[in-house]
Amino acid sequence: MADLEKALEKEVSRRSFLKTTGIGLGVAAGALVFGTGMVGAQAQTGTVAEAPLPYVELDPEEARLRGHAGYYQAGCSFGAFYAIASMLRDKVGGPYNQIPLRMLGYGRGGFANWGTICGALNGASAAINLVCPDADTNKLVAELLGWYTRFPFPSAEATAIGVAGGFKYTTKQYPKIELVTSVSDSPLCHASNAKWIAKSGFLLPSPERKERCARLTGDVAAKAVELLNAWKAGKFVATFKVDDQTAGCLSCHAEDQEGKMACVSCHEPH
Amino acid sequence: MADLEKALEKEVSRRSFLKTTGIGLGVAAGALVFGTGMVGAQAQTGTVAEAPLPYVELDPEEARLRGHAGYYQAGCSFGAFYAIASMLRDKVGGPYNQIPLRMLGYGRGGFANWGTICGALNGASAAINLVCPDADTNKLVAELLGWYTRFPFPSAEATAIGVAGGFKYTTKQYPKIELVTSVSDSPLCHASNAKWIAKSGFLLPSPERKERCARLTGDVAAKAVELLNAWKAGKFVATFKVDDQTAGCLSCHAEDQEGKMACVSCHEPH
């Protein structure tokens, strides 16, 4: 993972963060002094404060590239967390340098391949929580999940990058092709993968399916950055609403269950 | 959250860690010097290494108390993560002092109340990932989820503590009563809550349902510590196997979906 960090930080970033800020290149080599000149950075000794960490506007397109690359290193959950947290290391440094990025790897394949929550949502949500107060975290995470359930992955942006060979990993093993899109109707890895596999015909172990999830990871990281940028600018507005059928269910079942997942994806209407 | 830390570290711990080790009390006040005398602690400057952090054997019963208390501060996901990570702060310190514990709060109610993965599983899994290499993380997290799906929550241990008033929160609002148990057959918050609510008759907003999830959070943290202790001692053996019906499904559907969740909880057999 140390080599991973070095490789990713050096190679993935095709944008100008590092040059612009003049920091970040040293991070990979462990040479950056903690909290160098960063507003809001916390004291190095003692215990980190239990408060949101400083956020600065990030580039969603850089997040898309890093999320894709991170997927091939340690999976979807790591990939999405790495994308956002590594950019915050570059631009803010300080406390972000002390959070092990590998910590979010467990979410891969919906928690150690159990197929529960999509790992990209897990990694991105952890990054959101790092910078937002709890109440805002709830709003942004809920919006991210809602958006995910209706978005046709992979995005047109990811497809364009992928076909053009613009991702870090575009060898034979990481196909440089257009992939069909699918809508999951669910935030769960299981449903997301099953629907895409059914539509594409590419099975779980195929390079095409992995590339689909790599692009999805980048897409989720990019969307999370868009939400965070809007929130930081005071312009975030939640738009997700459950569908009419689910709203109908919830009119009776608001208090005997927890959740916003579409009911009829598992239950028969009655 | 700073007050939370101070309060929890001071009040929750009814065991002897702090006295035994002679550290920990200072942690809450932010006075402990980073890495004090701890084997394996990492240098404070630069960037934390992307490697598993040191683990020492922990007390599952202390995890049960802290998980329960943490639930009432910031939810199930924070509670389980706090339980384990705060004990590692006490016993190891160093890099654990720099990881914001509030970061895992987003998992509450299955991700911002979406009802996906049980938040206690999320917080505990993040703690497992902090100390285990990726391959072992996958094994322990998969085992924890498998165990969860078949365990009648809340545990007899939690019930005994709860009825005796042994948890930190045992006011009128946090009932000191015996609660019926239920098996979720699923690692999802939605199914876990719905089954317990159906069996108990206590609705989602009730203090009884919250107390059930608080005890469950402690139980999951305690189980995770048991798994970690066994792993540390070289004695961890995975025992979870999918049920026969699911195994039958997977004999055809191993490669067109991701996951180990019981198929017939959502799908009709065919």
Interface probe for A, chosen from B114, B132, B145 (most Cβ of A below 10 Å), is B114
Predicted ipTM? Answer: 0.86
**Tokens 């920990």 sit at which residue?**
B24
Q: Measured between beta carbons, which residues in chain A are less than 8 angstroms from residue B95?
A: 98, 100
Angle at A261 between CA A256 and CA A267, to 5 degrees: 70
Q: How many CB atoms lie within 10 A of CB A10?
A: 12
Higher pLDDT, A211 or A270: A211
The residues spanned by each domain of chain B are: 2-39+53-239, 243-270
Cα B82 to chain centroid distance, Å, stands at: 8
pLDDT of residue B151: 98
pLDDT of residue A174: 74
Write the residue in B48, B106, B204 that is nearest to A129 by C-beta: B106
Integer CA distances (angstroms), A76 to A115, A118, A189, B46, B145, in order: 12, 8, 10, 26, 19
Return d(Cα A72, Cα A12) in angstroms, integer.
12
pLDDT of residue A9: 46
Q: How confident is the model over A14-31, as pLDDT tens digits? A: 333 323 332 332 233 232
Helix (H, G, I), strand (E, B) or coil at B74: helix
Q: Measured between beta carbons, which residues in chain A are less than 8 angstroms from residue B25?
A: none
Backbone region of residue A52 per phi and psi (left: phi > 0; alpha: psi in -120 to 50; beta: other values): beta
- Does the distance separating the beta carbons of B51 and A1 come in below 8 Å? yes
Say yes or no: A129 contacts chain B, CB-CB below 8 A: yes
Closest CA to B216 of A258, A110, A263: A258
pLDDT > 60? residue A33: no
Q: How confident is the model over A148-192, as pLDDT tens digits? A: 999 999 999 999 999 999 998 766 577 788 999 999 999 999 999
Q: How far is A59 from chain B (nearest CA, A)?
A: 22
Q: pTM here?
A: 0.86
pLDDT band at B14 (very low <50, low <70, confident <90, very high): very low
Interface probe for A, chosen from B103, B125, B144, B197 (most Cβ of A below 10 Å), is B103
Q: How confident is the model over B141-155, as pLDDT tens digits? A: 999 999 999 999 999
